[in-house]
């Protein structure tokens, strides 16, 4: 309803939107243009007997002081960027997502506790919830999620919708083909009148993590050490491409391999965001070579320019094998494969 140019209805509801992904969980109010928070889709877990943080450690889960982020087994959980970046003895990095679907419900529940207490800062019973799901999500996981939201969080209303439908509606379309490239997979998803045609989905296990792996391999092949910030105690200024001069931080805790790998991955992802670029025109090596190089400095002080020849990995490699297509078919092949499977 509206009167005098003022809209009434959705803005007064205070509904929350949860966009669940393999890279992060985004949450915010339905009437706002951008998420209120973006939380990594991994959790730091210190098992019983390991080092635990004090109760006032920032970004911990502390919904209730008596049980907060310590389970009956004594495990401690660390959630969100600031808490995950701190080096802690025995902290393992675990993801609650697998193939775009929720796999570890205990970890996901901890993240929801943190979201309501630290990000929304309001009781879950006051806000209806709209949550996205992967188009290939299965019935048992949907039922588990409904049970969790209604029985534990006591939400007044809950709507679970496929993320491809949300993407189509966000662009003013009820029918269309959604090409989605996320962290762990890439897919072409046909949507007709607001419904996903699941039998025509074309899917590949390659995504942003594949590019991260390729960038890491490129740096290693060029003898560039990837030193995470937690290891650097000090560094000196050097010239371009000179060997880095840095000192190792003293009294470092015995970190786990999973946490070290996570720290290295964050460095590579920062490199990607600073250096990689998607060509706005069909790839032409001669014209691309005229673009200025990108300069990047690593945490240990090493720095150099990176040009087009150095990073060839983003040329359609993510989607070239989508759903067993022939190499080199790229995005157009994914679209063709998906549309051929449609029977409306």
Q: What pLDDT score was predicted for residue 342?
A: 56
Q: Find the mean pLDDT for residues 140-152.
A: 98
Radius of gyration from C-alpha coordinates of the chain: 23
Confidence tier at 323 by pLDDT (50, 70, 90) = very low
CB-side exposure of 234: number of CA atoms within 13 Å?
Answer: 3
- Per cent of the chain over pLDDT 70 is 79
* pLDDT tens-digit map of 55-99: 334 444 443 433 345 454 679 999 999 999 999 999 999 999 999
What pairs with residue 247 in β-bridges?
Answer: 234
Q: What is the pLDDT of residues 161-215, one digit of tens each?
A: 999 999 999 999 999 999 999 999 999 999 999 999 999 999 888 899 999 999 9
Mean pLDDT across 303-317:
65
Distance of CA 323 to the CA centre of its chain: 23
Which residues are paired to 33 by β-bridges?
none
The pTM of the full predicted model, rounded to 2 decimals, is 0.82
Are 161 and 133 spatial neighbours (Cβ–Cβ below 8 Å)? yes
Residue range 108-117: mean pLDDT, rounded? 98
Burial of 190 (0-12, 13-18, 19+ CB in 10 A): buried
Question: Nearest-CA neighbor of 122 among 199, 14, 206?
Answer: 14
Asked whether 302 and 224 are in contact (CB, 8 A), the reply is: yes
> What confidence tier does 340 reach under pLDDT thresholds 50, 70, 90?
low
Q: Which domains does the chain have, with CATH numbers?
A: 16-47+71-171 (3.30.420.40), 208-316 (3.90.640.10)
Q: Please tell me the total number of residues recorded for the chain in this structure.
A: 344
Instruction: Write the burial class of residue 105 (CB in 10 Å: 0-12 exposed, 13-18 middle, 19+ buried).
Output: middle
The angle, 0 to 180 degrees and rounded to 10, between the axes of the packed helices 257-275 and 208-221 is 90
Lowest mean pLDDT among 29-38, 125-134, 317-326: 317-326
Please report the pLDDT score of residue 336 as a whole number: 62
pLDDT tens-place string over residues 247-263: 999 999 999 999 999 99
Q: Which residue has the higher pLDDT, 340 or 111?
A: 111
pLDDT at 11: 54
Place of tokens 């051929």: 340
Give whole-number Cα distances, 246 to 291, 297, 338, in Å.
32, 13, 51
Mean of per-residue pLDDT scores for the chain: 84
Burial class (CB in 10 A: 0-12, 13-18, 19+), 344: exposed
179 and 188 Cβ atoms separated by less than 8 Å: yes
d(CA 156, CA 153): 9
């Amino acid at each position: 309803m509206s009167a005098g140019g003022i809209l009434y209805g959705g803005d007064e509801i205070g509904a929350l939107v949860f966009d669940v992904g393999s890279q992060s969980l985004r949450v915010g109010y339905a009437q706002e243009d951008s998420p209120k928070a973006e939380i990594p889709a991994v959790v730091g877990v210190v098992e019983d007997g390991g080092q635990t943080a004090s109760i006032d450690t920032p970004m911990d889960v502390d919904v209730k002081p008596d049980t907060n982020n310590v389970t009956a087994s004594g495990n401690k959980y660390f959630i969100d960027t600031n808490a995950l970046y701190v080096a802690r003895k025995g902290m393992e990095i675990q993801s609650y997502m697998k193939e775009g679907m929720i796999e570890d419900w205990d970890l996901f529940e901890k993240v929801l506790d943190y979201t309501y207490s630290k990000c929304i800062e309001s009781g879950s019973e006051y806000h209806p919830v709209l949550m996205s799901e992967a188009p290939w999500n299965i019935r048992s996981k949907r039922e588990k999620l409904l049970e969790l939201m209604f029985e534990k969080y006591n939400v007044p209303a809950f709507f679970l919708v496929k993320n491809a439908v949300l993407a189509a509606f966000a662009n003013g379309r009820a029918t269309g083909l959604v090409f989605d490239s996320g962290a762990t997979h890439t897919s072409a998803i046909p949507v007709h009148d607001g419904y996903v045609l699941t039998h025509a989905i074309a899917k590949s296990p390659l995504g942003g993590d594949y590019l991260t792996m390729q960038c890491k391999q490129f740096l290693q092949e060029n003898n560039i050490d990837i030193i995470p910030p937690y290891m650097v105690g000090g560094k000196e200024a050097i010239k371009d491409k000179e060997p880095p001069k840095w000192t190792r931080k003293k009294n470092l805790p015995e970190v786990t391999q999973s946490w070290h790998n996570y720290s290295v991955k964050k460095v590579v992802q920062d490199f990607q965001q600073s250096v990689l670029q998607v060509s706005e025109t069909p790839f032409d090596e001669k014209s691309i070579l005229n673009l200025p190089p990108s300069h990047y400095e690593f945490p240990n002080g090493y720095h150099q320019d990176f040009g087009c020849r150095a990073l060839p990995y983003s040329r359609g490699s993510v989607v070239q094998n989508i759903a067993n297509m022939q190499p080199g078919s790229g995005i157009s092949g994914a679209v063709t494969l998906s549309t051929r499977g449609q029977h409306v």
